[in-house]
Amino acid sequence: MGTKVNERAAALLGANGLAPTGTVWWDLSTEVLYEHAIQNGSARLAHGGALVVTTGQHTGRSPKDKFIVKEPGSEGRVGWGNVNQPIDAASADRIANDLRAHLNAAPQLYVLNARVGADATHGIILRLVTESAWHALFTKSLFIDLTDDERAALETTDGLILHAPSFQGNPEVHGTRQSNFVVMNLSEGLVLIGGTQYAGEIKKSAFTMMNDRLPLEGVLPMHCSANVGPHGDVAVFFGLSGTGKTTLSTDSTRPLIGDDEHGWSDKGVFNFEGGCYAKVIGLSAEAEPEIYATTQMFGTVLENVVMDDDTRILDLDDASLTENTRGAYPLESVPNAVPEKAAGQPTNIVMLTCDAFGVLPPIAKLSPEQAMQMFLAGYTAKVAGTEVGVTEPQATFSSCFGAPFLPQPPKVYAALLKDRIERYEVNVWLINTGWTGGGAGVGSRMPIRVSRSVVRAAVSGELASAATRTDPIFGFEVPVAIDGVEPSLLDPKSTWPDAAAYDDIASKLAQDIAAHAQKAGE
């Protein structure tokens, strides 16, 4: 049960270098955090009980403003570059000192202690200190609650996030690019976040921390969703944003382990989180009933979702604030979630791509070598309108389907995955949720019913002995027939009016995937 800060809690904050002068609220309940967020004007109550917030200027992550402290403890293992930008220790110390002074002077602070990683052997306990009630609620929804015994025994944590959206960085003083920033010290387990209200920065900072720690323990961290079938058969879904990772793993016939971040240890797969963070733009009760239902539940935090001021009815199709509307909700909001947030060894891996060129089939089986190539390449595509300046389909490559969150070089994670695929004889499938019959603007989007059908056929074992053809350009095996799927969709070239144009585009994509995989694996 949450309270105002007491003498013991004050001592714990003192160990974090904090001496707040205002009121400090410690591990408040969801209900009380709701009240605080509504009373201070930072959130509104929607029809059905969700909490609606807006994040202002920043409606998504700002990867150019994320920095890792260059310090002796982690410098040698970090893959420095555009993703892992260095910041010197002196600048990071100035940010930390000024951020602590800002939090100390805040009229109210919220402290949330939670677990990241359902496997106690490999999980960590993380503390968030924030000036914002709704960000504390977001963190409570997304991470795993501590037990009363864990709270009572808590002395130190494995990680600390100091979070102040109203604090503005000064590039000349702090060495940042602009006023918003995320700064991580991997050795200290310290994250500094300022100048942005987008809550995804909290979630992804914790993920990045786990991505650094787990390989040191021989555990593979994964940007994936996971579910489990009636016979204990686990399926893992890799995919970048917009490929359908959350949608396709949320299946009423297969209990959900988690929707975004997992570890793969010698015991099996375990969720990092206690909640889900789903894109909700365009959700419908017909296509995605389980996720849609959470938008009308108490305990859900909706970011940048438009609603009617009078009726408080949500308009999930309104993208006037951003296409990246989000819903954060506890895993228990999904009817058939796995309570343990963990299961055994996977039997199937699904790699999702939104192919805007329309040359990939809806499903293909990959050899272990092809799986490594696709994992290292992390291919999907941007389409017109998703970003400023994008006027035609553009291939996008994100190593390991999560390059922005990988502190170490991609080959570290690929080696761990290769070991597990071989050791447990895991089937690997490539699923195209993008276009067919031509590229974006010419062809049509792959129907979600088709994507669901091919995924279910793959993970159920239905395709284990199915007849296949070898794709002459990509080299993978494609089933020639699947119940409920039009045969023409399984042969994308046949749906193109110009077969030569198909060959040209497919050949170029195959070359691009191979080139990016080779570079990532160096």
The pLDDT assigned to 393 comes to 64
Is 382 among the residues known to form the active site? no
**Which overall architecture, per CATH, does domain 3-42+64-217 show?**
3-Layer(aba) Sandwich (3.40)
* pLDDT, tens only, 435-490: 999 988 899 999 999 999 999 999 999 998 899 999 999 999 999 999 989 999 99
Are 260 and 276 in contact by the 8 Å Cβ rule? The answer is yes
Catalytic residue among 204, 254, 456, 516: 204
The pLDDT assigned to 22 comes to 92
Q: What is the mean pLDDT of residues 41-60?
A: 96
Are 400 and 406 in contact by the 8 Å Cβ rule? The answer is yes
Q: Do 3-42+64-217 and 345-520 show the same overall fold? A: no
Q: Which residue has the tokens 């909490």?
A: 51
Q: Which residues pair with 211 in a beta bridge?
A: none
Task: Please give the model's pTM, rounded to 2 decimal places.
Answer: 0.93
Is 267 among the residues known to form the active site? no
Residue 423 has pLDDT above 90, yes or no: yes
Catalytic residue among 54, 241, 495, 507: 241
* pLDDT, tens only, 112-164: 999 999 998 999 999 999 999 999 999 999 999 999 999 888 989 999 999 99
Residue 79 has pLDDT above 50, yes or no: yes
The pLDDT assigned to 5 comes to 65
The pLDDT assigned to 431 comes to 97
The pLDDT-based confidence of 383 (bands split at 50, 70, 90) is low
CATH class of the domain at 345-520: alpha beta
Query: Where are the domains positioned within the chain?
Result: 3-42+64-217, 345-520
Residue 520, token pair as written in the block: 């990532």
Q: What is the mean pLDDT of residues 496-519?
A: 96
CA 200/CA 118 separation, integer angstroms: 20
Catalytic residue among 70, 135, 203, 245: 245
Catalytic residue among 176, 208, 246, 347: 246
Residue 1 has pLDDT above 50, yes or no: no
- Reported as half-sphere exposure (CB side, CA atoms, 13 A), residue 370 has a value of 19
Q: What is the mean pLDDT of residues 498-505?
A: 96
Catalytic residue among 326, 365, 420, 516: 326
Looking only at the bridges linking them, the beta strands covering 468-470 and 477-479 are antiparallel
The pLDDT-based confidence of 4 (bands split at 50, 70, 90) is low
The size of the chain, in residues, is 522
Residue 391 has pLDDT above 60, yes or no: no
Is 223 among the residues known to form the active site? yes
The pLDDT assigned to 7 comes to 77
Query: Percentage of the chain surpassing pLDDT 70?
Result: 97
Is 241 among the residues known to form the active site? yes
Q: Which residues pair with 145 in a beta bridge?
A: 114
Catalytic residue among 100, 174, 213, 223: 223
Comparing 28-42, 47-61, 163-177, 387-401, the range with the smallest average pLDDT is 387-401
The pLDDT assigned to 387 comes to 46
Is 279 among the residues known to form the active site? no
CA 64/CA 294 separation, integer angstroms: 32
Is 420 among the residues known to form the active site? no
CA 379/CA 476 separation, integer angstroms: 15
Query: Percentage of the chain surpassing pLDDT 90?
Result: 87
Write out the H or E segment, with its range, that includes residue 90: helix 89-104
Q: At what angle do helices 200-213 and 133-142 cross, to 10 degrees?
A: 40
Catalytic residue among 119, 233, 260, 471: 260
Is 469 among the residues known to form the active site? no
Catalytic residue among 27, 55, 59, 61: 61
Is 449 among the residues known to form the active site? no
Other C-beta atoms lying within 10 Å of the C-beta of residue 38: 15
